[in-house]
Structure 1
Amino acid sequence: MSSEVDIYQELKARLVSNRFEHGAKLRAEDLRKEFGCSASTVREVLFRLSTVGLADFQEQRGFRVPIRSSQKLIELTHLRILLEGEGTVLSIRNGGVDWEARLTAAHHKLSHIEKRIHAKDDPSDLVSIWFASENEFHQTLISACGSETLKQMHGRIYAQFRQQLMVADRRFEFISANIQHHASILDAALSGDEDLTRQKIHDHLARHLTGKTMGD
């Protein structure tokens, strides 16, 4: 029998990486059978996921995966730019050599994966490791900001952002630009140039501000 924590983490990963269809009903009975737990445990997990925006709940209709929305993606992108820019600038000021080393290591891993993806005709087997590495890099950017509230808010926004976008991102048509974007963010952050770092983060995410990245 899976624990509530394990079920939460597994369902969160599935919701963020779009292993459920957008708008699909999350059936507690099916999930209860899959995880070998009680229906009340599944409902509690789904309620927790709804509080962080990864599931929608309506009385009499139950839980559903959030629909894809161009407007929501634009809003989430604006928030990511604000939170990530501020968090990274604070990390530049507070992080020191330890943060710089961790950021460099996270970028090295991500760059290696992205170059592998760029070289493959079908990179579908690298989706999960790219997702984890991309998340690690962006979380490391803000990791030394000194504000747990900012990090928690960024984590929620990032997860909702990925949930909205992951279907489109599976094509990896953006990957050559991403390689350069991530390198530019790293270079700006390590240089200590706060304005340039904010600009590079904005440039990295700007393609999502039009709502045109939602197509399958």
Structure 2
Amino acid sequence: MTTNIDIFDTLQDRLISNEFEHGAKLRAEVLRSEFRCSASTVREVLFRLSTFGLVDFQEQRGFRVPQRSPEKLIELTHLRVLLECEGTVLSIRQGGVAWESRLAAAHHKLSHIEKRIHASNDPSDLISIWFSAEKEFHQTLISACESETLKQTHNRIYAQFRQQLMKADRKFNFISENIRHHADILDATLAADEALTRKRIHDHLARHLTGKTLEA
């Protein structure tokens, strides 16, 4: 039996990975057939997704996938920089060896996948595992900050950020830069250099602060 949690998780992944076109209408009647549940259950899940910013809702118009927007991407990028810098610095101060080990392991996985993408002529089959590994690395950076509010807020901002970019990111034009940036972030973090860590995180995300990466 498909539960509300299953439907939420499935739709969230599909919305972030751009399985639905930006601006597309999300029809409860269609989705209920797919998930074999009631239309009211689908609407409940879509309302919840709208609180995460992954679905737009308007009276009389229903639910739609948010449009891509340079202005929104710039705003989300600023928020990611703020949250990841603060969360990572707090993790450096409070995380200890256990957190450092988790971070190194998350980076090892991400680096391996990104190097495979870099060497591939057609990395389309690596998109989903790259997304998962990239998310894991950035969430591990802030995981020891001891602020559930910061982590929950970052999770929502990250999801909206990735939803804006996944269509452009499928080309992986940035992968060489990403490999270097993620390694630089790891090195600065493990060295407990707070100022350098903030700079590395900012440098990693700076290309999105113009909004032009949506044009890729």
CA distance in 2, matches of 1:128, 1:109: 14
**Corresponding residue for residue 15 of structure 2:** 15
**Corresponding residue for residue 46 of structure 1:** 46
2:89 alignment partner AA: V
Residues 84-113 of structure 1 deviation map (CA, whole Å, 9 limit, x = unaligned): 000000000000000000000000000000
CA distance in 2, matches of 1:212, 1:43: 34
CA distance in 2, matches of 1:20, 1:203: 30
Matches within 5 A, 1:50-89: 50-89=50-89
SS in 1 for 2:198: helix
SS in 2 for 1:192: coil
**Corresponding residue for residue 5 of structure 1:** 5
**Corresponding residue for residue 97 of structure 1:** 97
Matches within 5 A, 1:105-124: 105-124=105-124
Query: What TM-score, normalized to structure 1?
Result: 0.99
**Corresponding residue for residue 32 of structure 1:** 32
CA distance in 2, matches of 1:27, 1:121: 36
SS in 1 for 2:209: helix
Name the % identity.
77
CA distance in 2, matches of 1:76, 1:94: 26
SS in 1 for 2:57: strand
SS in 2 for 1:67: coil
Are residues 1:138 and 2:138 paired?
Answer: yes
1:66 alignment partner AA: P
How much does 1:178 deviate? Answer: 0.1
2:36 alignment partner AA: G
2:127 alignment partner AA: V
**Corresponding residue for residue 172 of structure 1:** 172
Query: What TM-score, normalized to structure 2?
Result: 0.99
Over the residues paired in the alignment, what is the CA RMSD in angstroms? Answer: 0.5
CA distance in 2, matches of 1:124, 1:172: 10
How much does 1:67 deviate? Answer: 0.2
SS in 1 for 2:215: coil
How much does 1:154 deviate? Answer: 0.3
CA distance in 2, matches of 1:55, 1:47: 8
**Corresponding residue for residue 152 of structure 1:** 152
Residues 104-163 of structure 1 deviation map (CA, whole Å, 9 limit, x = unaligned): 000000000000000001100000000000000000000000000000000000000000
1:156 alignment partner AA: R
2:212 alignment partner AA: K
SS in 2 for 1:171: coil
**Corresponding residue for residue 193 of structure 2:** 193
Q: What is the total number of aligned residue pairs between the two structures? A: 216
Which aligned runs of 4 or more in structure 1 are off by greater than 6 angstroms?
A: none
How much does 1:215 deviate? Answer: 1.7
CA distance in 1, matches of 2:29, 2:188: 50
5+ residue gaps, structure 2: none
CA distance in 1, matches of 2:2, 2:27: 17
CA distance in 2, matches of 1:68, 1:15: 12
